[in-house]
Copies of this chain bind each other. A is one copy, B any other.
Amino acid sequence: MINTQLLNPKSIVVVGGSDDVQKPGGKVLKNLIDGDFKGKLYVANPKMDQVQGIASFKNPKELPQVDLAILAIAAKYCPSTIQLLAEEKNTRAFIILSAGFSEENEEGAKLEKEIINIVNSVGGSLIGPNCIGVLNSNYNGVFTTPIPSLDPKGCDFISGSGATAVFIMESGVPKGLSFSSVYSVGNSAQMGVEEILKYLDESFDPKTSSKVKLLYIENIDKPEMLLKHAASLIRKGCKIAAVKSGGSEAGSRAASSHTGALASSDVAVDALFKKAGIVRCYGRDELATVASVFMHPELKGKNIAVITHAGGPAVMLTDALSNNGLDVPHIDGEKANSLLAKLYDGSSVANPIDFLATGTAEQLGDIIDACENDFEDIDAMAVIFGSPGLFPVYDVYDLLDEKMKVCRKPIYPILPSVVNVKDEIEHFLAKGRINFPDEVVFGNALSKVYNTPKPQSEKIDLPEMDMKTIRRVIDESENGYLAPEKIHMLLDSAGIDRSKEGIVDTLGAAKVLAKEIGYPLVMKVVGPIHKSDVGGVVLNVMNEETVISEFDRLMKIKDTYAVLMCSQHSGTEVFIGAKREDKFGHMVLCGLGGIFIEVLKDVQAALAPIANEEAVEMIHSLKSYGIIKGVRGQDPVNEDKFADAITRVAALMKVAPEIFEMDLNPLLGNKDAVVAVDARIRIEK
């Protein structure tokens, strides 16, 4: 419920504003004043007529109409103040900095609930409580520093933790990262990270909105909302990076199946981020670096020119890029030679392009022009230029800035000399540029961005299934593991191939069953104890003719009263599992069976539903994919059928969400089929 009053208030009152800038109420007022807030600014403070040069109202009843209230008073006074402002002052946006609410105790939770009701009753916005506030190019509504440079095209940053938001800005500001908005959601009483992201999605304007979103999340309360709006924003051209912390603790939970043990909630977070196209980061420095990559034009291919005046960092960067799937391709040919002619003796243009410690700004310009115009294979440039501290390098950084304005290909500035040419770097950043001080940190971040898959398609066509039967089986079942016949019905209704069998005692029935089972099949006598010894087992039955002749023969064997028929399978053991993950819906896992699960933990996970391309990508991402493709002359596993089975398991979860856990382990896969040989399904309604 974000509204104009929150985003662009014409007037703000700081309730609890004071002269003490070491307290939140004083500091937020100072930030508003320092930020040159263009609207009307008031203070409510029972003891003062004026605070920091701003008119203060001892009784809030005397306040004029005011759009936004920022509260920095004790929790217990907040509800009545908010009621007064909402009812009498037409205030429609509230930021509560104060703590002492649901994060502290029951009493605080009650106060918080009271406040939500009041704010909701007037259709207002509420940020907090227990947060550092809100910051955008209209006003500095936070009580903390640093205030980053604000720019409508900077990052939109939503944080589930106030202190962490500060520390993330501490990482980004020295690199030159600018922000469009910062939302610290605190207790998320009315709006959490998900709601604000939803707002950014629904209000997205391709012309004016920032295209970079950063998230710091400690709990994902509404995974579906997060997935929907993150993916939607990315489809609209945005880039999103997020830290979701607290992953390590969740891994230890007990579980009753392979799928359970492998599918920790952190795997669900991974799966969600992957499906949405979010770049997952694990620390502040990494998040700030990925954000810095985002602030450059999009990297459209994997060929990077590494341009440098010093060998070492170029080699380290080349290692980092090529170890992570990007390329630093060899450059040669006529155009390369004519570039080389412009550089000093001893330079190299083979890539890394090394124009030596003595290289000039002019030469750098020639190199960038060649990479932009002549070297068509090159998709981006990383320019490493530091200083041993002998002379200023303003000319180089000015040239870099000019080239960045006109080049279509992204240029990433790696300026390592944060001590020696501190002033030049500051001058460069002041033009709105960003610095990557460490080439390897940069290389890892660039690769991570490049390797993050696009969001999965919004509309997923579910495979055709017999939903009626599925629902009937589920509705009739109780909690616990399903009986085999029910499992068979579910698999058959979902179109998941399984090993089939049946017992027949007439030729007619045998022909019908053979059709149902398909070929090749196995026929065995029922009755005799030593089936093989009496010639009562027939393998590799390939057609109806053989069924007819063998049925006849088998039924004549002594003691035989019926024939068991079952499908005959061989192939590589693969595995598909599914598990309901609190709030996330169902996670589906796949991999190779046996030791690959138990010893190597080589599984891929995705959230249901799963589109066919996504299932294919899961299979391709397995470390043991080579085995599925077929190695050493061994039969491959039919990838289409494997992928189809994955999408069907996922679709089954959407139709039958009462399934808590499901294991198809193993399925046997060969070049023709992927067939479930054993299955377990547990219901928990």
What string of 1s and 0s marks CB contacts (under 8 Å) between A216-234 and chain B?
1010000000000000000
Is B389's CB under 8 angstroms from A312's CB? no
Nearest neighbor of A243 in chain B, beta-carbon distance: B316
Which of A140-148, A539-547, A644-652 forms contacts with chain B?
A140-148
Nearest neighbor of A441 in chain B, beta-carbon distance: B285
What residues of chain B lie closer than 8 Å to A216, measured between beta carbons?
A: 312
Is B144's CB under 8 angstroms from A388's CB? yes
> A553 interface residue, CB < 8 Å from B?
no
Interface range for A: 35 or more
Residues 636-678 of A at the B interface (beta carbon under 8 Å): none
Is A416's CB under 8 angstroms from B170's CB? yes
Measured CB to CB, the closest approach of chain B to A382, in angstroms, equals 14
What residues of chain B lie closer than 8 Å to A246, measured between beta carbons?
A: 315, 318-319
A146-B420, A391-B22, A440-B283 known; A315-B386 Cβ under 8 A: no
CA distance A284 to B416 in the complex (A): 10
What string of 1s and 0s marks CB contacts (under 8 Å) between A151-188 and chain B?
00000000011111011011101100000000000000
CA distance A673 to B289 in the complex (A): 52
Is A312's CB under 8 angstroms from B146's CB? no
Measured CB to CB, the closest approach of chain B to A259, in angstroms, equals 17
Is B312's CB under 8 angstroms from A438's CB? no
Nearest neighbor of A145 in chain B, beta-carbon distance: B389
Nearest neighbor of A163 in chain B, beta-carbon distance: B310
> A1 interface residue, CB < 8 Å from B?
no
What residues of chain B lie closer than 8 Å to A369, measured between beta carbons?
A: none
Q: What number of copies of this chain does the assembly contain?
A: 2
Is A631's CB under 8 angstroms from B598's CB? yes
What residues of chain B lie closer than 8 Å to A357, measured between beta carbons?
A: 163
Is B283's CB under 8 angstroms from A439's CB? yes
Is A218's CB under 8 angstroms from B315's CB? yes
A310-B161, A626-B595 known; A283-B167 Cβ under 8 A: no
Residues 408-459 of A at the B interface (beta carbon under 8 Å): 416-420, 437-441
Is A311's CB under 8 angstroms from B218's CB? yes
Is A320's CB under 8 angstroms from B146's CB? no
Is A166's CB under 8 angstroms from B388's CB? yes
Nearest neighbor of A285 in chain B, beta-carbon distance: B438
Measured CB to CB, the closest approach of chain B to A348, in angstroms, equals 12
Nearest neighbor of A442 in chain B, beta-carbon distance: B283
A143-B388, A166-B417 known; A284-B311 Cβ under 8 A: no
> A322 interface residue, CB < 8 Å from B?
yes
Is B631's CB under 8 angstroms from A166's CB? no
Is A163's CB under 8 angstroms from B391's CB? no
> A627 interface residue, CB < 8 Å from B?
yes
Nearest neighbor of A312 in chain B, beta-carbon distance: B164
CA distance A598 to B626 in the complex (A): 8
Q: Name the residue among A170, A319, A418, A599 with the largest chain B CB count within 10 angstroms.
A: A170
> A241 interface residue, CB < 8 Å from B?
no
Is A419's CB under 8 angstroms from B170's CB? yes
What residues of chain B lie closer than 8 Å to A373, measured between beta carbons?
A: none
Measured CB to CB, the closest approach of chain B to A150, in angstroms, equals 15
Residues 238-264 of A at the B interface (beta carbon under 8 Å): 243, 245-249
Is B441's CB under 8 angstroms from A389's CB? no
Q: Name the residue among A249, A441, A599, A600 with the largest chain B CB count within 10 angstroms.
A: A599
Is A417's CB under 8 angstroms from B23's CB? no
> A372 interface residue, CB < 8 Å from B?
no
> A77 interface residue, CB < 8 Å from B?
no
What residues of chain B lie closer than 8 Å to A600, measured between beta carbons?
A: 600, 623-624, 626
> A132 interface residue, CB < 8 Å from B?
yes
> A485 interface residue, CB < 8 Å from B?
no
Residues 571-585 of A at the B interface (beta carbon under 8 Å): none
What string of 1s and 0s marks CB contacts (under 8 Å) between A600-640 and chain B?
10000000000000000000000111110001100000000
CA distance A218 to B318 in the complex (A): 13
What residues of chain B lie closer than 8 Å to A27, measured between beta carbons?
A: 389-390
Is B166's CB under 8 angstroms from A282's CB? no
> A120 interface residue, CB < 8 Å from B?
no
> A594 interface residue, CB < 8 Å from B?
yes
What string of 1s and 0s marks CB contacts (under 8 Å) between A263-286 and chain B?
000000000000000000011111
Is B386's CB under 8 angstroms from A170's CB? yes
> A104 interface residue, CB < 8 Å from B?
yes
What residues of chain B lie closer than 8 Å to A248, measured between beta carbons?
A: 318-319, 322-323
Interface residues of A (CB under 8 A from B): 21-24, 27, 103-104, 132, 143-146, 160-164, 166-167, 169-171, 173-174, 216, 218, 243, 245-249, 282-286, 309-313, 315-316, 318-320, 322-323, 345-346, 357, 386, 388-391, 416-420, 437-441, 594-595, 598-600, 623-627, 631-632
8 contacting pairs across A/B (C-beta < 8 A): A144-B389, A146-B389, A163-B357, A163-B388, A170-B417, A171-B437, A245-B319, A599-B627
